[in-house]
Amino acid sequence: MPLPRVSLKSFLATAKTAARAAGASSTPSTPVTFVIGNESADLDSLCSAIVLAYLRTYAPDSPHSTFYIPLCNIPFADLSLRPELSPILQRAKISRNDLITLSDVQLPHPSPIASEQTNWLLVDHNALQGELGSRFGGRVIGCIDHHDEENKVPRDTGLEPRVVKKSGSCSSLVVQYGRAAWDALSKDSKTNNEVASWNADLAYVALAPILIDTTYLKSKDKTTKDDIEAVSYLESMITAIPGNRYDGEAYFQELSKAKESIDDLSLNDILRKDYKQWTENNLNLGISSVVKDVHFLVNKAGGIDNFLQVLKAFAEERKLSICSIMTTSNPNGQFQRELLVWGMDEKGIASAKQFFEKDASKLGLETWSEGKLDSHDDGWRQCWIQKELASSRKQVAPLLRACMG
């Protein structure tokens, strides 16, 4: 029998208690099951984990009473780098403190938790990275993701999902997968206001990343049929509440504005905010995604020398062979991408050069600001305007990784 459904807030409270108990014990009496997004911990990762964990826990056809804990793949302190959570939390009637982070389970250090006592369901990635990957990579039981297939999740996942499919937002795939369960949980939503209100809370969480990732379904490059269907399903959940005033465009605008409000953050925090790291042949690659252009970052640091110094320290702290920044911005209302790649050591330099030779024309790379950031003395560093606008980190990271050998 599945557990009886409760509000999102109560669900998270139970999940937090379970997470803290699990993190404090080396031998939890029963295995714990985490649902976790990728380490950039962007809205898509955070929201997809919450929604999938909730639906898996209460799915009426759930054959067992597993409790799925949605885990944010960052320490608690780093939630403050994500002001774009605020519009969601407010609508879903939860707070930052309700979210479960790595700090609750004392991961990756110093939790004594035994790997065999954990199960991991991945959303928004399909290979656990970094320390979590080396400790728990063998305990992954399923995934729902829209990145390239990494062939790390077992093919047969039994009762758990194994979905890897292109879509604007991973959240759309979670909604598609969980829809039957959600429908079944909503049977009395027409007569029971509490159920209708729980549905709306969850719908706001699932909706936010889709609006952001597809520019509210306006991005032709990114929007898929699954995104469109998910938005329509979720919006119907919200408008089902009598007298509920819903304005999707206003929600989208509020989220976008909050996401771009990084003026108060330090350069180091901006680089950390939406960051991913991979290891290929013992070389580390790190890519920061930033929602303002390179000029903004250079000004923030107080000039090119300071900018490079902060970036170098950031890379050294993470033992990166290749350090990269990808920016998106809208100068004069025109969407623009920039890419900076810095090979830091001998192998990183060779990889960066190979990437440039192989992929520069594909990505439409053009010298940024007369080459002011380029150098072939201090490692190998180039900054470009990236004319190929459809390629985000999801596309560029595999190109870089393919050159690291």
Positions touching Mn ion (CB under 5 A) are 44, 124, 170
Nearest approach in angstroms of CB 37 to Mn ion is 8
C-beta closer to Mn ion: residue 44 or 160: 44
Nearest approach in angstroms of CB 38 to Mn ion is 7
C-beta closer to Mn ion: residue 45 or 66: 45
Q: Among all residues, whose Cβ is closest to Mn ion?
A: 44
Nearest approach in angstroms of CB 331 to Mn ion is 25
C-beta closer to Mn ion: residue 170 or 403: 170
Return the C-alpha torsion angle 228, 178, 276, 131, nearest 10: -170
C-beta closer to Mn ion: residue 124 or 227: 124
Strand arrangement of the beta sheet that strand 275-280 belongs to: 275-280, 283-290, 322-329, 336-343, 380-386, 365-367
- With 0-12 / 13-18 / 19 or more C-beta atoms within 10 angstroms meaning exposed / middle / buried, residue 318 is middle
Nearest approach in angstroms of CB 124 to Mn ion is 4
Query: What whole-number distance in Å separates Cα of residue 347 and Cα of residue 344?
Result: 8
C-beta closer to Mn ion: residue 219 or 268: 219
Nearest approach in angstroms of CB 28 to Mn ion is 30
- With 0-12 / 13-18 / 19 or more C-beta atoms within 10 angstroms meaning exposed / middle / buried, residue 203 is buried
Contacts of 245 (CB under 8 A, 6+ apart): none
C-beta closer to Mn ion: residue 124 or 274: 124
Nearest approach in angstroms of CB 221 to Mn ion is 14
The phi and psi torsions of 361 (rounded to 5 degrees) equal -75, -40
* β-sheet bridge partners, residue 384: 339, 367
* CB distance 26 to 113 below 8 Å: yes
* β-sheet bridge partners, residue 123: 144
Nearest approach in angstroms of CB 366 to Mn ion is 28
C-beta closer to Mn ion: residue 78 or 124: 124
* CB distance 158 to 62 below 8 Å: no
The sign of the torsion formed by the CA atoms of 132, 135, 140, 146 equals positive
